[in-house]
Structure 1
């Protein structure tokens, strides 16, 4: 890739102005900085990170002195691979002039994570970019690498003095999984904090960058009609679902031995629970929101007996649009006797005055009937009136749709036209795409927040460890039961999951 040119501005595409700084509610500004992506040739960097950076450039959301430095073992034809990834995965149209300007700011350092000389070369390149552009030494280190490499990369950064500066700031970004249990998560936290202070560590959970997720707080605390109902006197139960129609093809190296509970529930879905259940923070800043989430997660506990309140499954063979689909045991890279679950469901409660007695049913799975992610808050139906009126009453449900069609729905009962009082469930809905301009993708928002130093949407170490305290006993329970239950691809999951709710007189929302 080309060397730097003297202060060449990054042009905006149709979505913004040249070099316009992005200022959020916090008043923090995107400052000139260099971002280093370790593992820039990997799937995450190619499919999410570099396309997101391109979209930010296209919209004029990055400062003109932004540089991107890729660090990886393989330097073969990197620019071509990144260009193809941007064309395939960017949100905004591909513009050759925007791409050309961005590639002038992309640089590459080849080396392995145990190569101190390569890290010294990285340090020299970053200093060179600072001098040529007049920057003050602001660096983001994005660890798009397996967690097993986090400590090695951080230690090398420390050896070369890249973790500290007398002038600019240094921040490190790490992707999930944040360990595979509580003990490993704590060890990982110690390894990171040995090199970087906690305030400089940004743990990415891309779900928190989605507009619908952020709107949970807006809907709860900016509207007076919900807070009086947001408690165990009015809410019957809450369902949190993330269902995928795809399998784990090509991800055996990561997924085998990890499973659905570790991959999705411990991070994404327990974070959604925290936002739904937290108390109103004293301010909408990073510290205040984190404090309330930690309180909720600390009070969250598994409800038992686990044999009846949890379920796990593994998808078997099926047919989709007339095409045979292999089961997990037939996927490349998976042993035939793999005990890795591709479906997980559990029941938790929150031991607070607000939520005592309200069950939270959480489920996730692959190869299910359709792709969806949602939070459904079901209110207690009316308990007054005549027997006929009570029989006709419906449960009001408030649904936050996270994907694929972001929005909010409220299910109510209305009279059906004609004679008699016949009540029919109807939906009042708001689709974000029909009301607001297209929102940036989650990684666009989160990358900007890192550059601004806004940690509001990034889980703290304490949040992660609280989540592991919830999940670990369930994983230990499952470990004694061999293979997970089989379920057909394209179904709603194993029958054991249905029994979790049916034993309480409830049922899962349909997929």
Structure 2
């Protein structure tokens, strides 16, 4: 059923995500008149506040996290906000929440950000209070479980109240402009798609590097680790978008059908194709930072870095390695995809002393959104000492190419799609379960072989074994 909701219910409305992302995103959408004037926003959390108390809370968050040029929009936006305290473990609390939300016949969109242990009581409370009817859709923020079994348990609980076409599983990377531009790059340009296969591509690298450490996520992160926090969702979604076949159309079913085919084609990884690490004390940007165990306050076997060599066993990608790495306390914050094409089969310039380098397509996702294609060009000169060739980058910086449109953060698009009911940039259940199935096999391999994270110095690019993982194939990580 397609409908535009006239009420948005935010669970976890006083949390860090709400302060940094959700409230600023909604304020920006309101300022640009992208949501209906009558859209009500109801926040709920354990904190005991009334409407005015929550508006004061939201005002402080927006003053802190909203760009300066957006701040005049704060006061008008605050009038949309309402609040109802809720303890999700107390079923009788949901009646008061339903009263605050009011009639839902006009459409209700729920953004649910909660601990995995609270999914089942929350869904039961929504059902019992009449907030899970046919005019309600629900957006689910990660983590959706800690493995395939717990993911299925959560999905079963949600599916008991909501059909799949009203479930919106959120991966905020899919809301980023450059991630969506990857689809435009591949499927709106004849230049790339004929070359996008094993005959022309040597390998693909996907890097998600962070400079931060635990940053207040101690309880969650130590129970998750880099593999489950980053690879299971964000990085496998990026891999699927790089590797998917052309969908018949740009709609939710067609796009997600092709992604799940890729995820189901991932070859099981052997332990020697993985590297895990945990940062020790070092320096980031010239400032000393503690090691993971020091931040945590105790020794831990949780990995803060992981590098993988993956393969997709299908016709298009057979034999092409996909190198994935992610970690905390790395030298720079960067998320990028590097597609390294094969070298020319025969260089006509070799006899004149020139060396060719394979073309590379670099898709920068954060902190800067850009696309760079490296091409070989002749260095100017009379060539009496031999021809010289050099890589020349063709850069497309999104901020420069599209100077007019405002730069949107991912949650602006995702919240708007949730309200309006477009599932294209959300993750379907079979995708999530295919991802968990692959990740669980890696974790089982680590457990069976007693693999422990290798130490690496904060401010480095991880354990030296991660460099060796690529270099034994003649590949160098792009840095």
Shift of 1:91: 4.4
Any conservation in 2 of the 1:301–1:350 contact (CA below 8 Å)?
yes
Shift of 1:421: 1.1
Shift of 1:391: 6.6
Give the one of 456, 459, 463 matched to 1:490. 459
Give the one of 57, 64, 72 matched to 2:30. 57
Question: Secondary structure in 2 aligned to 1:486?
Answer: strand
Question: Secondary structure in 2 aligned to 1:93?
Answer: helix
Give the one of 427, 443, 450 matched to 1:475. 443
Match of 1:5 in 2: none
How has the CA–CA distance of structure 1 residues 382 and 244 changed in structure 2, closer, same or farther, with 3 Å as cutoff?
same
Match of 1:230 in 2: 196
Question: Secondary structure in 2 aligned to 1:470?
Answer: helix
Shift of 1:388: 4.2
* TM-score w.r.t. length of structure 1: 0.88
Any conservation in 1 of the 2:127–2:161 contact (CA below 8 Å)?
yes
Match of 1:383 in 2: 345
Match of 2:264 in 1: 298
How has the CA–CA distance of structure 1 residues 214 and 91 changed in structure 2, closer, same or farther, with 3 Å as cutoff?
farther
Quote the Cα distance in structure 2 between the aligned partners of 1:456 and 1:43: 26
Q: How many residue pairs are counted as aligned between the two chains?
A: 469
Quote the Cα distance in structure 1 between the aligned partners of 2:242 and 2:339: 9
Give the one of 125, 131, 146 matched to 1:180. 146
Structure 1: gaps spanning 5 or more residues: 1-27
Shift of 1:83: 1.1
Shift of 1:249: 2.7
Give the one of 262, 280, 289 matched to 1:316. 280
Give the one of 413, 426, 435 matched to 2:376. 413
Matched, 1:114 2:89: yes
Q: Deviations over 1:331-366 (max 9, x none)?
A: 0xx252201111011111111111100000001011
Quote the Cα distance in structure 1 between the aligned partners of 2:67 and 2:241: 27
* TM-score w.r.t. length of structure 2: 0.94
Quote the Cα distance in structure 2 between the aligned partners of 1:196 and 1:389: 68
Match of 1:365 in 2: 327
Quote the Cα distance in structure 2 between the aligned partners of 1:32 and 1:93: 28
Match of 2:301 in 1: 339
Shift of 1:29: 9.0
> Where does 1:54-133 land on structure 2 (aligned, <5 Å)?
54-76=27-49, 77-91=53-67, 93-96=69-72, 98-127=73-102, 130=103
Shift of 1:123: 1.2
Any conservation in 1 of the 2:307–2:324 contact (CA below 8 Å)?
yes
Shift of 1:85: 1.2
> Where does 1:164-175 land on structure 2 (aligned, <5 Å)?
164-165=133-134, 169-175=135-141
Match of 1:443 in 2: 411
Shift of 1:84: 1.6
CA RMSD, Structure 1 to Structure 2 (Å) = 1.8
Shift of 1:438: 2.7
Q: Deviations over 1:170-229 (max 9, x none)?
A: 011111122111111111111110111111111110000001000111111111111110
Match of 1:10 in 2: none
Q: Which has the higher contact order (CA 8 A, sep 6+)?
A: 2
How has the CA–CA distance of structure 1 residues 92 and 33 changed in structure 2, closer, same or farther, with 3 Å as cutoff?
farther
Structure 2: gaps spanning 5 or more residues: none
Shift of 1:505: 1.2
Quote the Cα distance in structure 2 between the aligned partners of 1:322 and 1:244: 16
Quote the Cα distance in structure 1 between the aligned partners of 2:24 and 2:137: 21
Shift of 1:136: 3.7
Any conservation in 2 of the 1:55–1:91 contact (CA below 8 Å)?
no
Any conservation in 2 of the 1:378–1:397 contact (CA below 8 Å)?
yes
Quote the Cα distance in structure 1 between the aligned partners of 2:352 and 2:10: 61
Q: Deviations over 1:284-314 (max 9, x none)?
A: 100010111111111012443x22x210101
With 438-447 and 410-419 compared, the bigger mean Cα shift is at 410-419
Any conservation in 1 of the 2:28–2:70 contact (CA below 8 Å)?
no
Match of 1:24 in 2: none
